[in-house]
Chains A and B, each alone.
Chain A
Amino acid sequence: MIAGLGLVLGVLLGLILQPSVPVWLQPYLPIAVVAALDAVFGALRAFLDGIFDDKVFVVSFVSNVLIAGMIVYLGDQLGVGGQLSTGVIVVLGIRIFSNVAAIRRHLFHA
């Protein structure tokens, strides 16, 4: 419940404050958001499986974001930032799909 409230609170804060993204963060923020989404769906699946753990969630969330950002940074340095970002997005997208499929099976038994 607290988690759901936190999500709502964050969305509302973003809508009210409407901050602009600093330039140095602009390449990383979309990847970080997708990575965090992956962590969140993984956590939801784990919760439905009954194996959810706060610590694991926090660690996976932070590490997902950091690794995604690092990959983008590395790609930028190597000159393949765009392609590497696409790769990261694809991989995270596949994981999100598989997690959502598991969640769906739990919730709808289908």
Chain B
Amino acid sequence: MSDHDPLPGPTSDGTASADPAVDGRARLVTALRRPGSRGQLGAGVLLAVLGFAAVVQVQSNSQDAAYVGARQDELIALINSLSLASQRAENEIARLAETRSSLLTDTEARRTALERARQLADERGILAGTLAATGPGVSVSIEDESGAVGASNLINGIQELRDAGAEAIEINDSVRVVAQTSVRDLQEGGIMIDGTRLMAPYLIEAIGSAPTLSSGLQFARGFSYAVERVGGTVDIEQMETVEIASVREPTSTEYAEPAPSE
């Protein structure tokens, strides 16, 4: 199709009845200056439709240009690779979910163990005297005007309290009684407990079941009897809460080692 063909399409009426004297350019300029006839309205509407459609097409084309021109086998390969990728992703998800659940179980177990260990440490700490403690118990005041109450009486009392299930014992708010505690009389009066010199009156505080502790001290020919016999007085008070604040440095064993458990 060359330029010399009779014009197809819009000009195919073919009758070149133009005035050759009028230049095409001049005609265009004139037409652009004037609003134009009513007939131009239809052309304007069509051109508007064309512009609209062209812009829409360009925009929709720029949105998903990737797959528009693709052939069928390319698309099939694409779909195959996508489904492979999604399968891989699903496998990955399953694997990760498994890891996650195992980690959750792990964490749960570890938390339980930690909880248990912490609880155990607390209990041991209280029993070993490294932690301050509070709870129900008794407060035993021993008046000793004559100075006759000595180490043996106190050891007796501590022993009775332990028998009755005392979990923490403190003397005179300053010495925590533990497994290694030693008590001895001093020549110049008073007693020496774990290197601390204490003078009467003595105050023994113990945490445990208050009635049991109290009766443990008061049974016939027991602690109270012994103290009162040498001239002291014992006053036992059952308390809702006994505060035992004094603690002891944790001691590490030098010779003893844990025996291997079978």
Contact = CB atoms under 8 A, between A and B. Distances in A.
Interface in B21-64: 22, 24-25, 27-28, 31-37, 39-57, 59-61
B44 A3 contact: yes
B25 A61 contact: no
| Chain A CB within 10 A, most for which of B32, B48, B59, B60 | B48
Given A8-B51, A56-B13, A14 B59 contact: yes
Interface string A26-59: 1001101100111110110111111111111110
Contacts, number: 174
Nearest to A4: B32
Contacts of A94: 1
A14 B80 CA distance: 36
Secondary structure class of chain A's binding surface, majority of residues: helix
B54 A1 contact: no
A21 B57 contact: yes
| Chain B CB within 10 A, most for which of A6, A21, A53 | A6
Interface residues on A, range: 35 or more
B220 to A, nearest CB: 102
Contacts of B15: 51
Interface of B: 1-3, 5, 7-13, 15-19, 22, 24-25, 27-28, 31-37, 39-57, 59-61
Interface of A: 1-11, 13-15, 18-21, 26, 29-30, 32-33, 36-40, 42-43, 45-58, 60-62, 64, 91, 94-95, 98-99, 101-102, 106-107
